[in-house]
């Protein structure tokens, strides 16, 4: 069981290594891969040092699984080359997500779609993953008509450069800018580039990926994605209109019993999810559950998750675990 981690020195790649170690993934050999300037340097895993490899060296080793977190253009170029030698690629970029012949997987929802022929599997967008874990059981019970989302997303979703920008601003230091504007003491209502309809790519990812993962194109979905000066996780305000009415007690019970979801919803005790709760955890937290009193059959709730873990690294490792457990390798 050889495991390659492509982009091993980045925020998500480093987290993939951490999650593999925490979950005691059954690997016999680790092959960390990074850019040419990092080749030959070493990273630590389970108390041992591992030399960083080039792409070509990693492909020559024919890993069983390659966890990719190196950007879309890198994935488009190199993932097929890994697949050609029989490696299962689990890719964290947006490159393959909406391709009709590629599976887009959140294991708790649609891992059953994976077959032995799916050598390139897409890991969804971080903000989509945490949302669909909450939406899916509600959709199966009440049938979703429309979803309106506003996100409050951590700078860690952009990467190391953005975290450094925020820290520099807090320290009064001039430095490289990940964003067009200051992020500390500010919010930026733009994540990724704008597209022709006036939405950003991030907003359209939430629309299109949700429908694909939940296998239902009939849902009407709209999103506004905002970057905020926090680390530790993404937060989402979600308004859901159903075809059928619901009981709030039943909604809470269903979500509390959903795998990967933790209910934090007791306003009498000021208990609701926050990024501080999610930081370093694999669960998706949900609270502020209440009926939308402005129209029938509509629910408001608040969802928080660590975007580097369940939103990226943990979900990818869970896909790898599914491949192993179900003998698809």
In degrees, rounded to 5, the angle at the alpha carbon of residue 231 between the alpha carbons of residues 226 and 235 is 45
Tokens at residue 118, please?
Answer: 């799916």
CA distance 8 to 20: 12
Distance, CA of 133 to CA of 67 (rounded, Å): 22
Burial 296-320 (b: 16+ CB within 10 A, else e): ebbbbbbbbbbbbbbbbbbbbbbbb
Give kind and range of the element (H or E) at residue 172: none
| 48 CB-contact burial (10 Å; exposed 0-12 / middle 13-18 / buried 19+) | exposed
Sign of CA dihedral 314, 318, 320, 324: positive
- Residue 157 near residue 126, CB atoms below 8 Å: yes
Closest C-alpha among 166, 4, 184 to residue 91: 4
Contacts 24+ apart (CB under 8 A), 50-55: 52/8, 52/9, 53/4, 55/6, 55/81
Give me the active site residues, please.
126, 234
- Strand-strand pairing, 234-242 and 261-263: unpaired
């Amino acid at each position: 069981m050889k495991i390659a981690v492509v982009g091993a020195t980045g925020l998500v790649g480093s987290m993939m290594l951490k999650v593999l170690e925490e979950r005691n993934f059954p690997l016999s050999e680790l092959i960390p891969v990074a850019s040419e300037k990092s080749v030959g340097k070493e990273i630590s895993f389970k108390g041992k040092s591992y030399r960083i490899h080039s792409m070509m060296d990693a492909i020559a080793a024919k890993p069983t699984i390659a966890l990719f977190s190196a950007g879309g253009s890198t994935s488009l170029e190199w993932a097929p080359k890994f697949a050609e030698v029989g490696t299962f690629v689990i890719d964290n970029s947006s490159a393959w997500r909406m391709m009709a012949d590629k599976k887009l997987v959140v294991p708790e929802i649609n891992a059953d779609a994976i077959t032995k022929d799916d050598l390139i599997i897409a890991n969804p967008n971080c903000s989509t993953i945490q949302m669909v874990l909450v939406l899916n059981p509600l959709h199966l019970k009440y049938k979703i008509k429309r979803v309106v989302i506003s996100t409050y997303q951590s700078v860690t979703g952009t990467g190391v450069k953005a975290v450094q920008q925020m820290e520099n601003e807090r320290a009064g230091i001039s430095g490289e800018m990940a964003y067009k504007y200051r992020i500390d003491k500010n919010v930026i209502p733009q994540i990724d580039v704008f597209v022709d309809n006036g939405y950003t790519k991030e907003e359209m990812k939430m629309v299109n990926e949700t429908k694909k993962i939940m296998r239902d194109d009939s849902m009407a979905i709209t999103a506004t994605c905002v970057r905020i000066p926090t680390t530790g996780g993404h937060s989402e305000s979600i308004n859901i209109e159903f075809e059928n009415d619901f009981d709030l007690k039943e909604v809470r019970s269903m979500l509390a019993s959903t795998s990967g979801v933790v209910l934090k919803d007791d306003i009498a005790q000021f208990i609701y999810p926050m990024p501080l709760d999610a930081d370093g955890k694999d669960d998706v937290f949900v609270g502020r559950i209440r009926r939308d009193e402005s129209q029938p059959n509509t629910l408001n709730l608040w969802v928080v998750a660590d975007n580097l873990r369940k939103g990226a690294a943990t979900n990818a490792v869970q896909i790898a675990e599914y491949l192993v457990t179900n003998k698809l390798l």
